[in-house]
Amino acid sequence: MASINTSDIKNGITLKIDEGLFTVIDFQHVKPGKGGAFVRTKLRNARTGAVIERTYNSGEKMEQAIIDKMDTQYLYRDGDEYIFMDQDTFDQIPVSSKSLGDAANFLKETGKAMIIQFQGEVIGVELPASVELRIAETEPGIQGDRVSGARKPATLETGFIVQVPLFVGPDEVIKVDTRTGEYMTRA
């Protein structure tokens, strides 16, 4: 592990602190008129996604965690594991559903994903900002009802339920935001 100073903190770097692995979401160097300078940070837990805020004194040292990102393709599900293929070496990588978290709701066979590893352990998966998924089940679309803004539940091919406008029908392909899990548009 590399030891870094508070002046080296940047968005996106991963730190190993007592509570675990955290990625820097936001930071701010503060130099008050009285007293020493400090760095205020907002950190996201790499495993759980929980966000915490920490303040470090200027010049304080911390450990930077070196994480590996691997470009992969989702192949299939095998029980409680999801199998991905490394795009470079074609090795198959099993990932537990616990490590995937909510990303499992948006995985479609042959879909792209970025696997994040720390010391050989999969700690997370990054998906594209949006994915196109087919609606497996919903009430038929109502022609002409485009302005009301009303929504209805729709079950996607992955089993995830999303709220869609009334005019969207079964077997249509829609675009879903993977960060929020919300309907964006028809594909």
Could you tell me the CATH number of the domain that includes residue 15? 2.30.30.30
Note the pLDDT of residue 73.
Answer: 92
- Is the same domain home to 60 and 74? no
Helical H runs in 81-184? 97-100
For the chain (187 residues), the mean pLDDT of every run of 10, in chain order, is 82 86 89 88 84 89 88 90 90 86 85 88 85 88 67 89 87 89 86
The token duo for 28 is 């701010």
Can you give the CATH number for the domain in which 100 is found?
Answer: 2.40.50.140
Per-residue DSSP letter, 97: H
Which residue shows structure tokens 């009334």? 166
Residues 142 and 171 placed together within one structural domain of the fold: yes
* Cβ 131 vs Cβ 111: under 8 Å: yes
Q: Please say which residue of 77, 98, 126 terminates a domain.
A: 126
List the domain range (segments joined by +) for residue 29.
2-64
How many distinct structural domains can be found in the chain? 3
* Strand 68-78 versus strand 161-165 pairing type: unpaired
At which of 64, 82, 116 does a domain end?
A: 64
Query: Residues 62, 65, 66, CA angle at the centre, nearest 5°?
Result: 140
Q: What's residue 75's pLDDT?
A: 92
Same domain assignment for residues 26 and 49: yes
- Domain shared by 41 and 94, yes or no: no
| Cβ-based neighbours of 35, under 8 Å, separated by 6 or more | none
DSSP helix, strand, coil percent of the chain (3-state; round to 5): 5, 55, 40
For β-strands 92-96 and 38-45, DSSP reports them as unpaired
| Cβ–Cβ < 8 Å for 77, 158 | no
- State whether 86 and 138 are in the same domain: no
* Model pLDDT, residue 169: 84
Same domain membership, residue 53 and residue 20? yes
Same domain for 87 and 118?
Answer: yes
Dist CA 174 CA 20 (whole Å): 37
pLDDT of residue 145: 60
pLDDT score at 175: 92
Residues in Cβ contact with 79 at an 8 Å cutoff, skipping those fewer than 6 apart: none
Q: Nearest-CA neighbor of 174 among 161, 166, 184? A: 184
Report field, pTM of the whole predicted structure over 0.75: no
